[in-house]
Homo-oligomer: A and B are copies of this chain.
Amino acid sequence: MKLYDYAAAPNPRRVRIFLAEKNIQIETVQIDLAKLEQKSEAFLKLSPLGEVPLLQLDDGTCISQVHAICRYIEEVYPENPLLGRTPLEKALVESSNHQLNMNGIVAVADGFRNANPAFADRALPGPNAYAQIPALAERGLARVDHLFRDLDAHFANSEFVIGDYFSVADITAFTTIGFARWIKKTIPEDCVNLQRWYDQVNARPSAKA
C-alpha cells in the first residue's frame, strides 16, 4: 500500500492519524497541492479527479475519499477498531462522523476556498471550475462558530464523540479544529469542555502524524 499525501492538508491528515492510531506504517508520496501537482498528467492517471489523499494498493488499484480509505484499512487491519465495535456503535460513529465532516471539514473548506484568491474558480475540489461565492465563505465562518458551541456542549458530558470510545469521529473533529485556523477560527476561551477534549486528543501520539 502507498498513500498519496500532502502534509499540510486536512483530509490526508485524517488518514495519517487513522493509520497512526492503528500502528500501521506505509509508504507516502507527497503531492504538493500548493503547486497543483494533483493536476499533473502522471497523477491524473491514478486519480482522474485529482484527489488527495489517495490509497494505492499493491496491485495498482486506487481508492479515493477519506471515508473509503479508512474503511479499507479497517477491513484489512481490524485491530484497534476506529469505526465501531458493534452494529449500533458502527452506526453511531458513522452518523457523527458524517455530521462532523459536513459541519466541520466542509464548512471550513467553504470558508477557506470561497475567500482565498488562490482558489478563484476552484471553490470546489475536482475537475470542474466553480466560482467563489463570498456569502458561502461567510456562512462557513458562522457554521464553525456553531460547531464549536455544539461540541463544547457535547464534551461537557462525554469524554469523546461517542462516549468513552475514541473513534474516527474524534479524528474528524480534531482535524477540523486544526483546519479552522486556516480561516482564523480557534476554540473560544469559554469553550472549556471542547478545549479539554482537544488537549486530550492532541496529547495522543497520533496527533503528530
- Residues of chain A touching chain B, judged by Cβ–Cβ distance below 8 Å, are 57, 61, 63-65, 67-69, 71-72, 75-76, 87-88, 90-92, 94-95, 98-99, 123-124, 128, 130-131, 133, 135-136, 139, 142-143, 146
17 contacts between A and B (CB under 8 A): A61-B88, A63-B92, A63-B95, A67-B94, A67-B95, A67-B98, A68-B92, A71-B91, A71-B94, A72-B87, A72-B90, A75-B87, A128-B143, A130-B139, A130-B142, A131-B135, A133-B133
CA distance A69 to B63 in the complex (A): 24
Q: Which residues of B contact A128 (CB under 8 A)?
A: 143, 146
B75, B92, B99, B133: the one within 8 Å of A90 (CB): B75
Task: Please tell me if the beta carbons of A90 and B71 are within 8 angstroms of each other in the complex.
Answer: yes
CA distance A74 to B143 in the complex (A): 32
| Cβ of A96 to closest chain B Cβ, rounded Å | 8
Q: Which residues of B contact A64 (CB under 8 A)?
A: 95
| Cβ of A185 to closest chain B Cβ, rounded Å | 16
Q: A63, A75, A91 — which one has the most chain B CB atoms within 10 A of its CB?
A: A91
